[in-house]
Structure 1
Amino acid sequence: MIDLVVIAKEPLPGRAKTRLHPPLSLEEAAELAAAAIDDTLAAVADVPAARRILLFDGARLPPRAAGYQVVPQSSGELDARLGAIFDELTAPCVLIGMDTPQVTAEHLAPAFDGWPDDVDAWFGAATDGGYWALGMRNPRGDLIRGVPMSRSDTGRHQLARLRGAGLRVGMLPTLTDVDTIDDAVSVARTAPDTAFARRLSELLASRDA
């Protein structure tokens, strides 16, 4: 069986989705972050995971976090925090973020509907050059620590690290991370029935009124 890890931080103004400001206020950007977390947890509710782990930075848990084992994020940069949870896990695992509210269980199906024998790791690339999903049959934090994060070449470096260690990598679908307002609009068009899309529509409509 495979563990599912969702990494998220409490959507507080000034800490979450700050690149959406402007045109959104910091409070509105935080509202969209909260909607993205809600959509992500709802989307993976039917994923057949052995354990569900929320790697969380914050005090107030998301409403849909019931049933998740909550693990506080460690200190340090993102590569260190991801590396720490991959060092703790012993079973095959897949980690996803909350920046892709359009994600569906089908996007993760290749890993959770029977991990193939010829795949040692899973990688879901993001259109900004990063990645939205990372899985390993035998979790190793050293394959993440030291990878430069939040850059246009992050995904390339991470993929090279996996392959350089001799891992056979299966590719998940490429998705768009929500970083900018243009990303937000694009993702909302892709998944118009999400809470994220509905809240974004309301916020943008209020500016046109």
Structure 2
Amino acid sequence: MTTVLIIAKEPVPGRVKTRLTPPYTPQEAAALAEAALADTLRAALAAPVRRVRLVLEGRPGPWLPAGVEVVPQCPGGLDERLAAAFAGCSGPAVLIGMDTPQVTAGLLAPALGPNAWQDCDAWFGPAVDGGFWALGLARPEPELLRGVPMSTPETGREQRARLLARGLTVRDLPVLRDVDTARDAALVAREAPPGGRFAALVDRLTPAGAR
């Protein structure tokens, strides 16, 4: 079975979701980051996976549910940290971030089902901003990520091209929006499934006239 890797930062005010400030305060932005991470972990735990591993910058807190393995992020750029996350796996792995709290076990199902790796070497989830929100590899190869420029409008295109250049058969997951700005937060909250912490917190923090 597949391992789900979630790469995240400890939700500390002033260190996470800084582009949400303003209009949100640093404390509110950190609360939104915690809610997004909690919803992402819940979705992963609801999926049929081998393990859920949180690759964390910082320390775990009371927001961490039972059943999640925690490992520290390595030093270096984001490409090195993603590569190291895959390097720690011995079988198929799907990596997602904490920026898409609208993710559900159903959205992840194609990459985690019993036939996910039949005639398939990689799964790719593009993001609206040009990046990617999910990357799955049947055989973790860290070199597929090292050197890919991260956090640019071309990141997703370049990462997918790297997979194809390696001769991998790539299947796509749906396009999702990352939460980077307050506008993103509002749009993602509308897409999130009922009962999630992120959407409820966005609703509580956003003035009625601004929704």
What TM-score, normalized by structure 1, do the two folds share? 0.95
User: 2:40 corresponds to which residue?
Assistant: 40
1:62 offset after TM fit, Å? 5.1
Say if 2:144 is the partner of 1:132: no
SS of alignment partner, residue 64 of structure 2: helix
Q: Give the structure 1 partner of residue 190 of structure 2.
A: 189
Match of 2:172 in 1: 171
The total of aligned residue pairs comes to 208
Task: Tell me the residue number matched to 1:31.
Answer: 31
Distance 1:122 1:192 in 2: 23
1:205 counterpart residue number:
207
Which residue in 1 is equivalent to 2:118? 117
SS at match of 2:206: helix
Q: Show the counterpart of 1:87.
A: 87
**Contact conserved, 2:117 with 2:138, CA < 8 A, in 1?**
no
CA contact (8 A) 1:37 1:62 kept: no
In 2, Cα distance between equivalents of 1:82 and 1:62: 25
Among all aligned residue pairs of Structure 1 and Structure 2, give the percentage whose two residues are the same amino acid.
Answer: 53
Deviations 1:6-43, CA, capped at 9 Å, x for gaps:
11110111111100011111111111000001111112
SS of aligned partner of 1:135: strand
Partners of 1:173 and 1:90 in 2: how far apart? 26
Q: Which amino acid aligns with 1:186?
A: L
SS at match of 2:159: helix
Mapped contact 2:45–2:52 kept (Cα < 8 A):
no
**What is the alpha-carbon distance in structure 2 between the residues aligned to residue 60 and residue 97 of structure 1?**
16
> Structure 1: which 5+ runs fail to align?
none
Per-residue CA deviation, residues 76-120 of structure 1 (Å, 9 max, x unaligned), is 111000111212212000011110000000111111112142110
Determine helix, strand or coil for the equivalent of 1:6.
Answer: strand
Q: Deviations over 1:39-74 (max 9, x none)?
A: 111122221111211101112335333212211000
Within-5 A mapping of 1:57-96: 57-61=57-61, 63-96=63-96
Partner of 1:141: 142
**Closer, same or farther in 2 for the Cα pair 1:75/1:52, shift >3 Å?**
same
CA distance in 2, matches of 1:206, 1:73: 39
Q: Deviations over 1:136-179 (max 9, x none)?
A: 00001100010011111100010001111011101011111001
In 2, the alpha carbon distance for the partners of 1:82 and 1:192 equals 27
How many angstroms apart in 2 are the aligned matches of 1:2 and 1:138?
A: 11
Cα RMSD between the aligned structures? 1.5
Alpha-carbon distance change, 112 to 62 in structure 1, aligned in 2, over 3 angstroms: farther
User: d(CA) in 2 for partners of 1:52 and 1:156?
Assistant: 27
The 3-state SS of whatever aligns with 1:173 is coil
- Asked if structure 2 preserves the Cα contact closer than 8 Å seen for 1:120 and 1:169, the reply is yes
C-alpha contact 2:56 2:73 (8 A) present in aligned 1: yes
